[in-house]
């Protein structure tokens, strides 16, 4: 199975892993699953970091690639196909990062690992990752 991490799951897995449930931990630790981090998440991290909304031990250009390697994550690039697929989504969610992640997961037949309840409203397979709901 192929999984796509939303940005929150990626950050929580590194900074506050106790906030993720056992299933998320098992998938992240398994080593045999294809787990992806989108360039969308890197972009979101850069923006939040530059606005002072996300504290990191080093700049995103160092942090994200090193943590992807540490977790064994594969990169998922943004394509025109992904960007245009956002137009097929209802306006359940106003966050452009989450909408693009949802479009990517749908387009690439991936399960979106998330802690955002709103994403379950979309026609995409999701896996709830928060420790408490």
Q: Answer whether residue 133 is part of any domain.
A: no
Q: What is the domain-level CATH number for residue 116? A: 3.40.50.1010
Q: Is the pLDDT of residue 99 over 60?
A: yes
Q: Answer whether residue 73 is part of any domain.
A: yes
Q: What are phi and psi of 2, to 5 degrees?
A: -110, 135
The structure tokens 């950050």 sit at 11
Question: What is the pTM assigned to this prediction?
Answer: 0.94
pLDDT band of 28, cuts 50, 70, 90: very high
Cα separation, 15 vs 55, in Å, equals 10
Q: Answer whether residue 75 is part of any domain.
A: yes
- Structural domain including 26 reads 2-128
Cα separation, 103 vs 84, in Å, equals 8
pLDDT recorded at residue 133: 57
Cα separation, 115 vs 95, in Å, equals 14
Q: Is the pLDDT of residue 93 over 90?
A: no
Q: Answer whether residue 10 is part of any domain.
A: yes
Average pLDDT over residues 112-118: 92
Number of domains in the chain: 1
Structural contact between residues 127 and 113, judged by C-beta atoms closer than 8 angstroms: yes
């Amino acid at each position: 199975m192929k999984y796509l991490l939303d940005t929150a799951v990626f950050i929580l897995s590194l900074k506050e892993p106790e906030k993720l449930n056992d299933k998320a931990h098992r998938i992240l630790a398994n080593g045999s699953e294809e787990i992806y981090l989108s360039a969308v998440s890197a972009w979101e991290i850069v923006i939040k970091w530059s606005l002072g909304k996300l504290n990191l031990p080093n700049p995103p250009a160092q942090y994200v690639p090193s943590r992807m390697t540490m977790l064994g994550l594969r990169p998922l690039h943004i394509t025109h196909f992904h960007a245009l697929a956002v137009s097929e989504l209802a306006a359940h969610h106003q966050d452009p990062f989450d909408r693009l992640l949802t479009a990517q997961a749908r387009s690439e037949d991936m399960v979106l690992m998330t802690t955002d309840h709103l994403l379950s409203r979309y026609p995409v397979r999701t896996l709830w990752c928060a420790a408490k709901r």
